[in-house]
């Protein structure tokens, strides 16, 4: 009996060690693969990604949903659409690995890449452009009761400037500063929050920037009379001399019901971005699916019409493209400038 018990113990021990060894081998084989919805490691083809957008009610958030649908339908990659502070925040989140795809305007991209903004703590040199989006025009609107028809009327007034970390929240204060306009208070909040405050009588003036039409503006003008305005030629020149990443822009009169004529203002261009260590094959497939199904994005938001031609990527002449994106644009015959080829590019 003792002899049998000892034999049985050794048999069970042997089986246990074999199972343990098999589990270890399996763990080594599956390391780096995605499981349970987690993003793949650096350089791996992901099964899911997080997309950094901006505040609800803004164009980035709508675009995020469109990109998520495109990724799932054409690449079988699921996405989490993350509400963020906007471009500045997206650059920081990308760098920290908290999002894998982001959207940025040209100003924050410039400031982050060169560490030239008050918000930047370092040079974000690992960011890579992957596709063009649209212009983000700056415009302002006020309640008709306030009689404000110019940004100059904001002197000494409480104004909504957009979310902290977003394009309007970052640059509206700089625009006021460049024009020497002193406001009594600047409310930093998302487009929907500011629109609600205006309709509740708590806010008379709002400045925002996003792909047009901005949903929050459309929402407000169906509830109350508002005045929508841009910048005079003189004010545009003053601001653009101080902040050179702006360009002149015209908002068509048919963008909003409250507009009677085209609106002259200024804008920044937007790009989709990732970090340089993202899978080259994933970026290639993503950019290819994006351009080959751009009608899908246009149906999501009319601003995507500006990205209909792949040559729109040439709006970027300065910041490095991801190698996966370069593969696609070269494949379709876009003549890219040497300045956008990153140090990691290999023929």
Domain identity same for 182 and 257: yes
User: CB of 288 within 8 A of CB of 280?
Assistant: no
Domain extent for 252:
136-268
- 72 with 189, same domain: the answer is no
- Identify whether residues 131 and 141 lie together within a single domain: no
Residue 301, domain CATH: 3.40.190.10
Considering the domain architecture, whether residues 191 and 283 belong to the same structural domain is answered as: no
Task: Classify residue 292: in a domain, yes or no.
Answer: yes
> Do 143 and 241 belong together in one domain?
yes
How does DSSP classify residue 321? B
Domain boundary among 252, 268, 284: 268
Q: Provide the CB-side half-sphere exposure for 23 (13 A, CA).
A: 6
- The 3-state DSSP class for residue 48 equals strand
Please determine, for residue 196, whether its predicted confidence score (pLDDT) is greater than 70: yes
Q: What is the rounded CA–CA span in Å between residue 95 and residue 97? A: 5
- The pTM of the full predicted model, rounded to 2 decimals, is 0.77
64 in the same domain as 168: no
Burial of 282 (0-12, 13-18, 19+ CB in 10 A): buried
Number of structural domains in the chain: 2
Check whether residue 143 and residue 256 sit in a common domain. yes
Beta bridge partners of residue 105, listed in sequence order: 270
CA-CA distances (angstroms) from residue 249 to 83, 207, 267, 299, 313? 27, 16, 6, 23, 18
Q: What tens digit of pLDDT does each residue of 66-120 get?
A: 999 999 999 999 999 999 989 999 999 999 999 999 999 999 999 999 999 888 9
My answer on whether 67 and 151 are in the same domain is no
Whether 125 is covered by a domain: the verdict is: yes
- Same domain for 248 and 327, yes or no, is no
The verdict on 113 and 231 lying in the same domain is no
- Model confidence pLDDT, tens digit, residues 252-285: 999 999 999 999 999 999 999 999 999 999 999 9
């Amino acid at each position: 009996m003792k002899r049998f018990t000892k034999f049985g113990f050794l048999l069970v021990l042997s089986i246990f060690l074999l199972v343990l060894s098999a589990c270890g081998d399996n763990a080594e084989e599956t390391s780096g693969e995605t499981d349970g919805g987690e993003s793949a490691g650096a350089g791996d083809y992901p099964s899911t990604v997080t997309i950094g957008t901006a505040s609800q009610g803004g164009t980035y958030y709508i675009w995020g949903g469109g990109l998520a649908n495109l990724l799932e339908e054409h690449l079988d990659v699921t996405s989490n659409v993350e509400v963020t502070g906007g471009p500045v925040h997206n650059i920081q989140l990308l760098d920290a690995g908290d999002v894998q795809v982001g959207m940025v305007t040209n100003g924050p991209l410039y400031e982050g890449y060169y560490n030239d903004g008050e918000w930047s703590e370092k040079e974000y040199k690992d960011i890579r452009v992957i596709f063009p989006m649209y212009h983000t025009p700056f415009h302002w609107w006020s309640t008709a009761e306030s009689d404000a028809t110019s940004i100059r009327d904001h002197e000494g007034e409480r104004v909504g400037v957009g979310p902290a970390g977003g394009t309007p929240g970052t640059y509206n204060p700089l625009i006021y500063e460049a024009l020497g306009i002193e406001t009594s208070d600047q409310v930093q909040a998302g487009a929907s929050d500011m629109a609600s405050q205006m309709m509740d009588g708590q806010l008379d003036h709002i400045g925002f920037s996003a792909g047009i039409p901005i949903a929050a503006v459309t929402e407000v003008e169906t509830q109350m009379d508002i005045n929508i305005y841009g910048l005079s030629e003189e004010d545009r020149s003053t601001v653009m001399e101080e902040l050179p990443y702006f360009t002149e822009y015209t908002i068509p009169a048919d963008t909003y019901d409250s507009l009677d004529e085209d609106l002259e203002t200024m804008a920044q261009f937007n790009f989709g971005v990732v970090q340089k260590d993202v899978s080259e094959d994933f970026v290639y497939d993503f950019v290819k699916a994006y351009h080959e199904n751009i009608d899908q994005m246009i149906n999501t938001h009319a601003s995507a019409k500006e990205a209909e031609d792949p040559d729109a990527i040439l709006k970027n002449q300065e910041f490095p493209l991801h190698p996966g994106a370069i593969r696609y644009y070269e494949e379709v015959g876009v003549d890219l400038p040497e300045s956008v080829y990153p140090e990691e590019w290999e023929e």
